[in-house]
Structure 1
Amino acid sequence: MLTRSIPASMDDAIVRMIDSRLDDVRRSEGVAIPLAIESGSRAWGFPSPDSDYDRRFVFVRPSEHYLSPWQRRDVIETPLDGDLDVNGWELGKAIRLLLKGNAVIVEWLRSPVAYGVDETFRTAFLELAENVADRNLIALHYLHLGLRQRNAYFSDRKAVALKKIFYAVRPAAALRWLRRHPDAAIAPMRFQTLIEECDPPSDVRSVLADLVERKSVTRELGTAPLPASIATFVDGEFEAATAAFSKAPPAERRREIELAEQFFRRMVAHVWAS
């Protein structure tokens, strides 16, 4: 039984289109989909009225597919249709990326918007993530993501599209959270929770609260110079993360690989049994 959690604010027609497209994937590819969620701004907690629908899913192939010398693709991509973006990763790919420090799958697992989720699968995958995620690798993921966004949108210090600020602030806040929680590897997904728990300066909080409020009611925030407090926060966190995480030696992963293999075999059996 798949659980659903869809905000009333979401367009019913779009949700029906998403459900239909996933049904098409199941039929045409012959796969099970134990996790189908919303990613992007709608899941992070700062949507605007015209935010795209970033539908993401994890799929599992029948066991005989994994025993074939001709392996199927580990991604399924459906055509981009206006605001509708529906793509997925095969379970093995998701696991491998997790062990390499890619935080995306953890964010999918924690998404509050669920179109169809096998809760046994999600709980077990989150437990695996807690046991195998390397905080240094996760931090480097956010650092590289944040620097890429910073350089793409704010490098010249001129007027910027204000909605793009979130895409540099979110990884910066995740890095600050990781530094302040040295025993944890997985930062909160929801933006408001992340900001609350990483405790940025009050002027940063004020600017971000205003932007979130304005973004929730308008289709276009417009452009303006990057607020000085935000620039200082983002640059400071990226500099601190570079010092804290970039020079850590690679960790031994033998135990983590064994746990991941056990999880993979167990979930392939579980998904098709249910």
Structure 2
Amino acid sequence: MQEKVVIPAAVRAEIETRLANLASEEGARLLMAVESGSRAWGFPSPDSDYDVRFLYVRPRNAYLSLMPPRDVIERPIVDEIDLNGWDIRKALALLLKHNAVLSEWMDSPVRYVVDDPVIGKLSDLATRHFNPRGYAKHYANLGRGAVSRWFNDDGTVSAKRYFYALRPALSVRALRLDPGRRPPMNILPLMEAAQVEQAVVDQIHELIARKAQTREAGNTIQLPSVERLIEDELQRVSEVPERPRDDQFMDEAEALFLQLVNEE
């Protein structure tokens, strides 16, 4: 079960305005714009940024240019609003490499614009062809990086780093248990997919409640059972099955890209 993520009306209106202005300035059409980061993951702090992530497509001639524009659009963070998006060609290239970030964006519980129909096709493509082992490697790398920076100089643990290790570990566990399903983005359905025992679920809920009351860089309590889960799962990537490379994946991604661009 996933709790509803509430974005204050004034913040949502400002984000929608900035997205519209950005699209106009860049001459790009937004295909999707969602909330990512800790607010969408289900463990925000009061000072968490609004991590707005989007996909876009440019007019057809941009893809035929000798000097094509950058495949990323980003804006400086202002008033805790962080805008960053990928060109559809970049997104498809990363999808083919089994980068799980795009999978998460497509499953975000918060949408800032109405999804273009191509997003449904993109999601279906990812579901049918993603490599569970590739996703598990992605999450394990994220989790190990967070663990390596776990402790502050005074021996305390940052709540943010705790969660940045926990969510990837749960994703690896979910992939071990059900390699045919892309891991949920939000931590509540992710705990269900990972079949976490109730005592640990209760501790994670306590961590979420604590993080909701402290600043993003604030410290938290250490929970040995949660740490054992993290350390164990990040070492079990080899138990997640590999999906053999399928040339049809590339063919379908190429066809999707060409169809979209030729409509511009």
Please, what TM-score do these two structures have when normalized by structure 2? 0.90
Q: Specify the SS of the correspondent of 1:114.
A: coil
Q: CA separation in 2, counterparts of 1:136 and 1:244?
A: 8
From 51, 55, 78, the equivalent of 1:54 is 51
Does structure 1 retain, via aligned residues, the 8 Å contact 2:100–2:138? yes
Q: In structure 2, do the counterparts of structure 1 residues 236 and 21 end up closer, same or farther at CA, with 3 Å as the change threshold?
A: same
Q: Specify the SS of the correspondent of 1:140.
A: helix
From 125, 128, 131, the equivalent of 2:128 is 131
Q: Specify the SS of the correspondent of 2:47.
A: coil
Deviation at 1:70, TM superposition (A): 2.0
Residue by residue over 1:58-113, the C-alpha shift from the partner in whole angstroms, topping out at 9 and shown as x without a partner, is 01011111122222210011122141100100001011111112111111111110
Residue by residue over 1:208-233, the C-alpha shift from the partner in whole angstroms, topping out at 9 and shown as x without a partner, is 01122333355469424521111101
Q: CA separation in 1, counterparts of 2:235 and 2:5?
A: 40
Which stretch of structure 1 is more off in the superposition, 216-225 or 206-215? 216-225
Which residue matches 1:112? 109
Q: CA separation in 2, counterparts of 1:224 and 1:157?
A: 13
Q: CA separation in 2, counterparts of 1:219 and 1:67?
A: 46
Matched positions, count:
261
From 8, 11, 16, the equivalent of 1:19 is 16
Residue by residue over 1:130-177, the C-alpha shift from the partner in whole angstroms, topping out at 9 and shown as x without a partner, is 123111111110010111111122498931122431111100000000
Q: Specify the SS of the correspondent of 2:78.
A: coil
From 137, 156, 161, the equivalent of 1:159 is 156
Q: In structure 2, do the counterparts of structure 1 residues 182 and 57 end up closer, same or farther at CA, with 3 Å as the change threshold?
A: closer
From 248, 255, 259, the equivalent of 2:252 is 259
Q: CA separation in 1, counterparts of 2:179 and 2:135?
A: 13
Which residue matches 1:4? none
From 69, 90, 94, the equivalent of 1:93 is 90
Q: CA separation in 2, counterparts of 1:135 and 1:157?
A: 38
Deviation at 1:256, TM superposition (A): 1.1
Q: In structure 2, do the counterparts of structure 1 residues 213 and 129 end up closer, same or farther at CA, with 3 Å as the change threshold?
A: same
From 210, 216, 240, the equivalent of 2:212 is 216
Deviation at 1:206, TM superposition (A): 1.6
Does structure 2 retain, via aligned residues, the 8 Å contact 1:157–1:226? no
From 219, 229, 233, the equivalent of 1:233 is 229
Q: Specify the SS of the correspondent of 1:70.
A: coil
RMSD over aligned CA atoms reads 2.4
Does structure 2 retain, via aligned residues, the 8 Å contact 1:140–1:245? no
- What fraction of aligned residue pairs are identical, expressed as a percent? 38
Q: Specify the SS of the correspondent of 1:153.
A: coil
Q: Specify the SS of the correspondent of 1:116.
A: coil
